[in-house]
Amino acid sequence: MTNSTPRPRRRGARVTLREVAEAAGVSTATVSHVLNETSGARIGPDTRQRVRDAADALGYRPNAAAKNLVTGTTRFIGLVADAIATTPFAGQIIHGAQDAAWRQGYTLLVANTAGNTEAERDAIAMMLDHQVQGILYSTWYHRAVELPAALRETNTILVNCYAPGSDLPAVVPDEVQGGRTATQALLDAGHRRIAFVNTTTPSPAHDGRLRGYGEALRAAGITVDPALVFDARPEQEGGYDVLPRVLEQGVTAVFCHNDRVAMGLYDAVRERGLTVPEDLSVMGFDNQEIIAAHLRPPLSTVGLPHGELGAAGVRLLLGQQDVPPGGRLEVTCPQVLRASVRNLGAAG
Amino acid sequence: MTNSTPRPRRRGARVTLREVAEAAGVSTATVSHVLNETSGARIGPDTRQRVRDAADALGYRPNAAAKNLVTGTTRFIGLVADAIATTPFAGQIIHGAQDAAWRQGYTLLVANTAGNTEAERDAIAMMLDHQVQGILYSTWYHRAVELPAALRETNTILVNCYAPGSDLPAVVPDEVQGGRTATQALLDAGHRRIAFVNTTTPSPAHDGRLRGYGEALRAAGITVDPALVFDARPEQEGGYDVLPRVLEQGVTAVFCHNDRVAMGLYDAVRERGLTVPEDLSVMGFDNQEIIAAHLRPPLSTVGLPHGELGAAGVRLLLGQQDVPPGGRLEVTCPQVLRASVRNLGAAG
DNA sequence: TTGAAAGCGCTAACAC
DNA sequence: GTGTTAGCGCTTTCAA
């Protein structure tokens, strides 16, 4: 069945470089050179054309596995994520990493571990088997992680997380600057008595944003009043519940730990017959489009640079960007102004 | 530098199967057999152990490229997505596909095309070069697509989309059933005069949910009143703006095209001093957790089965599930009840 | 300017 | 039970 014709194709087999060579009447080496545009290869223009035509005519496609095998190097980058379905955050990291990788001719091998250690081990093993150039180990919210041992076998960059006691490069959002930026937006609008609704969960976001809040206040000559700092669950319900207490403090503005908290707080404000921003100015954090851009009024907030985190991760991995001393690259959280902050007219 | 010792390792080269064989004092074939647990291979238990020990000791890892090359088959599945960062939807598709693929020992090659035709072509080419078993072509919202020609070169399954005029298998949400389910939830709570706020955008969701709404009503013996069907932009603003008109119709319940519309509608309801569900019962669609689960009151809705779409896609691709006649697999949209529907006490 | 040939790491017949 | 051997499709000296 398959042995009566010369060099029979196996089931569904694809056109090989050798077939192109035969069709063009040249050697495989020549085909390889022209198709890869190997620099320093002296091939006549006529031959070049013949090869190209043959390749096109046959619909030739290189076999990546063969190429990988012989060069001993692949253009794969692994990306392990702990939760890609919960929020758009992981998606943004993947997107950023994808684009940056793609631009360099790299392909992403994506694995979702759902926080399962075993799945994580398997995922990393598979990536290693595929000779990835390195692995981006990412989390959907900024936090400390414990590293799977297998990561030691390849280049690893931590994205949106960091490993205490490890010296692996990490790229994370600059929470302190973010907190400073959010507070500054309020200060710039003339607010002086500004509450901060922080999260109840210990995290870099908790500590960093608080610090940024304090720094901005102090830089404006305002003493931080501990009575103005609250803790609430980082969800709508937390924001809703905390409002009465912040109102008691007679503030004109609140900086919320995240947009969800701001959303809940909006509800509580409305329920008391008050309005944002007339009675209370609000800054969020995260810039979750689906909420922030569509609240009434649209919420001013500070963005989390997830896409850039992913992109910077691959640049670090590929050596296109230097790891800063200390091993931690902190990415700026951009301000995004909408309509939830009232300008008091006076600055500072 | 590298040629004074026998069989020198190249820079960072990994342990090969041959080295394991030498260490264990057996042939490469034997190692291959025991490590792959090849069925029908008669290897003594002692040898088996020796091989395993040697592999462990050396930290052996198989080279996937070599394996792929020789077997002529890979365990890659390509997934092209048009937008993975916008909503959690694509993430859920990827997650579902990932899990299903992983379970069969397959790895996902993910590409984000951002609607860019050229990026799409490149992505598919790269997947083809890697000899993927097939490609899942997906969109973040259910719609018709025009297929890139390159997809013809491999097995393709459409996920959350369909290609008019093509006979490729597609797996999509059952919009009609979804619309029926949402309406039925309202009917079950005793509502009879039910508005439907549909979207302004022509789409399978627009047509399907409308049809489901009509079917449920008619099945309950209620004539569809065209005055009760509205069109609004599928966002918060659309829901907010449409409320006055639906209130004019004296309905007791509204089925909103999606959760975002419901969220905007909530705002409008509150602004008039009314409450959900006392004055108006609301059903959403999509089950966007971040909104639906945290509105006040939490929103009853119908879920979009994105994860299952992705999972079914790989099952179809891998031949573990049959493509239904007609080529379209419609996945059920589950009801998720929360607290936005008031029970009128009477059924039907 | 081009071709021959070795070999990347592994699997799969087939010997023994 | 275990080893030999022939490639998979490609790149890469090196020779011509």
Which residues in chain B have their CB less than 8 angstroms from residue A153's CB?
Answer: 59, 61
d(CA B76, CA B132): 5
Domain ranges of chain A: 17-71, 76-173+307-331, 175-304
The correct CATH number of A175-304 out of 3.40.50.2300, 1.20.1250.30, 3.30.450.20, 3.40.190.10 is 3.40.50.2300
pLDDT in tens, A160-183: 999 999 999 999 999 999 999 999
Higher pLDDT, B87 or A194: A194
Band (B221; pLDDT cuts 50, 70, 90): very high
pLDDT value, residue B39: 83
Contact B111 A111 (CB under 8 A): no
pLDDT in tens, A112-160: 998 899 999 999 999 999 999 999 999 999 999 999 999 999 999 999 9
In degrees, rounded to 5, the angle at the alpha carbon of residue B296 between the alpha carbons of residues B292 and B299 is: 30
pLDDT in tens, A235-256: 999 999 999 999 999 999 999 9
In degrees, rounded to 5, the angle at the alpha carbon of residue B163 between the alpha carbons of residues B125 and B327 is: 105
Instruction: Average the pLDDT over B279-286 and give the result.
Output: 98
Residues 6+ apart with CB under 8 A from B344: B189, B190, B191, B252
Which residues in chain A have their CB less than 8 angstroms from residue B295's CB?
Answer: 236
A40 touches strand C (CB under 7 A): no
- Cis status of the peptide bond prior to B277, with omega within 30 of 0: yes
Report the chain B residue with the minimal C-alpha distance to residue A259: B290
In this structure, what token pair is assigned to residue B172? 């999509």
| H/E element, B206 | helix B204-219
Residues 50-79 of A with CB under 7 A from strand D: 61-63, 66-67, 69-71
CB B25 within 8 A of CB B53: no
Report the chain A residue with the minimal C-alpha distance to residue B261: A294
Instruction: Average the pLDDT over B23-30 and give the result.
Output: 93
pLDDT value, residue A12: 55
pLDDT of residue A5 exceeding 60:
no
| H/E element, B266 | helix B259-271
Which residues in chain B have their CB less than 8 angstroms from residue A102's CB?
Answer: 111, 119, 122-123
pLDDT in tens, A252-308: 999 999 999 999 999 999 999 999 999 999 999 999 999 999 999 999 999 999 999
The gap between B41 CA and D4 C1' (Å) is: 16
> How many CB atoms neighbour CB B99 within 10 A?
18
Kindly tell me the sign of the dihedral angle through the C-alpha atoms of B271, B277, B278, B279: positive
pLDDT value, residue B22: 92
Of A1-15, B121-135, B166-180, B324-338, the poorest mean pLDDT is in A1-15
d(CA B277, CA B122): 51
pLDDT value, residue B75: 94
3-state secondary structure at position B161:
strand
Of all nucleotides, the one whose C1′ comes closest to residue B33's CA is C11
Q: What phi and psi, each to the nearest 5 degrees, are found at residue A267?
A: -60, -45
pLDDT value, residue B189: 98
CB B244 within 8 A of CB B218: no
CB B190 within 8 A of CB B342: no
Counted residue by residue, chain A has a size of 348
Band (B115; pLDDT cuts 50, 70, 90): confident
Of all nucleotides, the one whose C1′ comes closest to residue B41's CA is D1
Of A12-26, A261-275, B169-183, B329-343, the poorest mean pLDDT is in A12-26
- A76-173+307-331 and A175-304 in the same fold: yes
DSSP state of B336: E
| Mean of per-residue pLDDT scores for chain A | 93
Min Cα–Cα distance to chain B from A236, Å: 6
Nucleotides, chain C, CB distance < 7 Å: 1-13
Distances (CA, A) of B250 to A218, B214, B243, B257, B275: 56, 19, 11, 19, 15
pLDDT in tens, A184-196: 999 999 999 999 9
Min Cα–Cα distance to chain B from A301, Å: 17
Nearest to A110 among B10, B59, B110 (CB): B110
pLDDT in tens, B237-246: 999 999 999 9
| Domain A76-173+307-331: CATH superfamily, name plus number | Response regulator (3.40.50.2300)
d(CA B94, CA B72): 26
Band (B12; pLDDT cuts 50, 70, 90): low
3-state secondary structure at position A248:
helix
In this structure, what token pair is assigned to residue A346? 């006076």
Min Cα–Cα distance to chain A from B286, Å: 13
The gap between A18 CA and C11 C1' (Å) is: 22
Contact B87 A13 (CB under 8 A): no
Distances (CA, A) of B141 to A69, A129, A155, B83, B209: 39, 35, 36, 9, 14
pLDDT value, residue B235: 97
3-state secondary structure at position B310:
helix
> How many CB atoms neighbour CB A6 within 10 A?
6
Paired with A320 in beta bridges are: none
d(CA A51, CA A5): 24
B68 touches strand D (CB under 7 A): no
Contact B130 A110 (CB under 8 A): no
* Dihedral angle computed from the Cα positions of residues A314, A315, A317 and A323, in that order, rounded to the nearest 10 degrees: -130
d(CA B297, CA B284): 12
| H/E element, B67 | helix B64-71
Question: Which class in CATH covers the domain with range A17-71?
Answer: mainly alpha
pLDDT of residue B11 exceeding 70:
no
Contact B111 A107 (CB under 8 A): yes
pLDDT value, residue B224: 97
Nearest to B107 among A10, A126, A288 (CB): A126
pLDDT value, residue A346: 56
Nearest to B291 among A74, A153, A290 (CB): A290
pLDDT of residue A13 exceeding 90:
no
pLDDT in tens, A21-69: 999 999 999 999 999 998 887 889 999 999 999 999 999 999 999 999 9
Residues 97-116 of B with CB under 7 A from strand C: none
pLDDT of residue B1 exceeding 50:
no
